[in-house]
Structure 1
Amino acid sequence: MTELLDNPWVQRLGFVFGGFVLGVLLEFVIIRRIHKLAEQTRFKWDDMLIGSIRGVGTIWLVAGGLYLALNVGALDPLLVNTTRSVLMVIVLGSAVIAVMRVVGGAVEMVSGRAGGTIKSPTLVVNLARIAVGVLGLFIILQNLGIDITALITALGIGGIAIALALQDTLGNLFAGVQIILSRQVRQGNYICLSSGEEGWVTDVKGRNTTIQTFPDGNLVTVPNSLLASSIVKNFSMPRKALWVTLEVGVSYDSDLEHVEVVALEVAKEVLGEVDGGVPGEDPIVRYHTFGDSSINFDMRMMVREFQSQGPVKHEFIKRLHQRFNDEGIEIPFPIRTVMMEGGGESTVEGG
């Protein structure tokens, strides 16, 4: 038994197996228990950190067992040095991946805290992870003894050719960065482009921005360069609440003071009872046109957000129509008198 334990290969296998067992215990017992405890707290950062480092500890413990195994007995120096270099790359690579996860998660957490339930744009998260990954790659190469300066110089020369070949892709990438940094268009905003596309911004990616149309819910993909150069109407800024305007016409025989009182009463009633209305903002009536068959006015009401205007308009039109009927206020039809050849005439309503 003693001779078996003194065997170098048995000792090496023991170190490797021991590292593997410790890694399994760490991953499936300790970290799992810590993760369950973290889920019970209201603090979200601990969940993100634990999720980011899962699997890394196991890799390190197994790599540590392999490293100790290399120090047992005599082995080929070339094999030892090569294996140590591979282990170093694995350990540093797993650390870089963990940091990339943490940085990406931190960006999403900070964005979520600042903007509610809206996640950070995919482009921002990916750029943060890429930056950490590139830095980690340089650290690994430096530890392997590779001249980073020469590599950067070569990449700089090659980058010119790549940039020329990928002009459209890079243009969309920089346009996406510009969109995010300007903060004029954000995820969750309802926008309308000068080209006609409109809807909610769902994500800003490296090449394009996705917009969910309303009310059909389809996804429209808009290149970032096109979005950055378009005239954009943002219905969600500077605040989500917005004024909704409805044009109404009443007969020339109507008492305009009475019409105004009735319209304001109906509008206040709708804003107070319909979900999406803003009862704290008084509605406004403004007469503006002597029409062909009616005196026209705008009814302005404030709603909580863009999608609230549909229900508010719907209910206001129904209630105003009923109230005008009850009050004897006429909403006139357009009337046209057509002179017939030979002296006859015909009166047409609604045309």
Structure 2
Amino acid sequence: MSDTIYLYINIGLYSFVGLTIGFLLEKFVLKRIKLFAKKTTWKFDDVIFNSLGGLVVLWFLILGFSIGVQAHVVQTELRIITHKITASVLILSLAVFAIRLFVNLIKVTAEDTSGRAPSNSIILNIIRIVILLIGAMLILQVFGVSIAPILTALGVGGLAVALALQETLSNLFAGIQIIASKKIRTGDYIKLSSGEEGHVVDITWRNTIIKAIQNNLIIIPNTKISTSIVTNYFFPELEMSFAVEVGVSYDSDLDIVEKITLETATRILQTVEGGAKEFTPFTRYHTFSDSSINFAVILRAQEFGNQFLIKHEFIKALHKSYIKNNIEIPFPIRTVIMKNNKSGENNK
């Protein structure tokens, strides 16, 4: 009994030393390396060191425990069991490190490409599942379990599962195709031909989640997204042009109207938040309507959501400019000419 207690104490001491060394390395050495990595322009060193968080302590704990077992455990069978356990924990920790590494790499790459850091849970979840499955198979190999029969069973059962989950798999592969095409990304503002519109919050294994302007979530199956006509207001660039319809009286001097309108539009784009300051607005007359000559003023916003404030401020400013310069914005007028029907009167 005393030998067993002595054995546990020695293994515990080795484990404690390993734990202490790992803690000191992570607290002081790794922390300084992280601070140095943040100062470099290369982002992938940040990814690597951030993915190591907490694992260095675990690895040194495993190392101390293994050394203690090798130094004090005599029984071969007990050594083999502890070796398998420590190897399994090590494989699991390496799987966690690989998941963190790949997930962070995807986020950094996406941020460098689009200027945003989107999180497509479908891709991240697939990465997690694949790495965990590889880790689980390696652990089974450590314990001497053959994975060949398991793979065979999965292959046969996979066909039945695929038939049973046909709709789910359709949404899964549609989601992968949406992400791979890079035409729709998280953060983009899109509008479907069926009328749903909003910012893409996430693309999951089954649905694409859109946040509408009203702050509601719209959940759409991936297959519907992949087969719909979709307008992406953030692709190929964020800036977008839009038109404001205006009508003036037939008595107006159209050259003066155009000049005042463009001066007002230019001022608004320069002063209102979200206006494309380098864009030159322009007008196009297009219709002789019943009571006015109508034209469109083309403005440009830095992104889809900015157009509403720009329109708001432009209409107010243009109204003031027209009043100041005696330019009439006519009310709808319709002239009705009544003619006497003499034949009708004679019949009476």
Match in the other structure for 1:20: 16
TM-score of the aligned structures, taking structure 1 as reference length: 0.86
Contact kept in structure 1, 2:26 and 2:57, CA below 8 Å? no
Cα distance in 1 for residues equivalent to 2:225 and 2:238: 21
Q: Which runs of 5 or more residues in structure 2 are unaligned? A: 342-348
Match in the other structure for 1:152: 151
Contact kept in structure 2, 1:104 and 1:126, CA below 8 Å? no
CA 1:11–1:331 in structure 2 vs 1: closer, same or farther (change >3 Å)? Answer: same
Matched, 1:33 2:31: no
Contact kept in structure 1, 2:22 and 2:58, CA below 8 Å? no
How far apart are 1:47 and its partner, in Å?
4.5
Report SS of the residue matched to 1:335: coil
CA 1:268–1:63 in structure 2 vs 1: closer, same or farther (change >3 Å)? Answer: closer
Matched, 1:61 2:60: yes
CA 1:65–1:271 in structure 2 vs 1: closer, same or farther (change >3 Å)? Answer: closer
CA 1:270–1:142 in structure 2 vs 1: closer, same or farther (change >3 Å)? Answer: same
Match in the other structure for 1:347: none
Matched, 1:42 2:75: no
The 5-angstrom pairing of residues 176-215 of structure 1 reads 176-214=175-213
How far apart are 1:338 and its partner, in Å?
6.5
Range with greater deviation from structure 2 (129-138 or 153-162): 129-138
Report SS of the residue matched to 2:191: strand
Match in the other structure for 2:293: 295
Cα distance in 1 for residues equivalent to 2:180 and 2:282: 37
Aligned length: 335
- RMSD, matched Cα: 2.5
Cα distance in 2 for residues equivalent to 1:35 and 1:74: 36
Range with greater deviation from structure 2 (123-132 or 184-193): 123-132
Contact kept in structure 1, 2:122 and 2:203, CA below 8 Å? yes
Contact kept in structure 2, 1:247 and 1:299, CA below 8 Å? yes
Contact kept in structure 2, 1:179 and 1:228, CA below 8 Å? yes
Cα distance in 1 for residues equivalent to 2:316 and 2:243: 16
Cα distance in 2 for residues equivalent to 1:138 and 1:199: 42
Match in the other structure for 2:345: none
Contact kept in structure 2, 1:190 and 1:201, CA below 8 Å? yes
Cα distance in 2 for residues equivalent to 1:119 and 1:246: 33
1:60-96, Cα deviation, whole Å (9 max, x unpaired): 3333444344443543x54443333222211211111
Contact kept in structure 2, 1:245 and 1:301, CA below 8 Å? yes
CA 1:19–1:46 in structure 2 vs 1: closer, same or farther (change >3 Å)? Answer: farther
Matched, 1:217 2:215: yes
Give percent identity, aligned residues only.
Answer: 38
Range with greater deviation from structure 2 (196-205 or 30-39): 30-39
Report SS of the residue matched to 2:285: strand
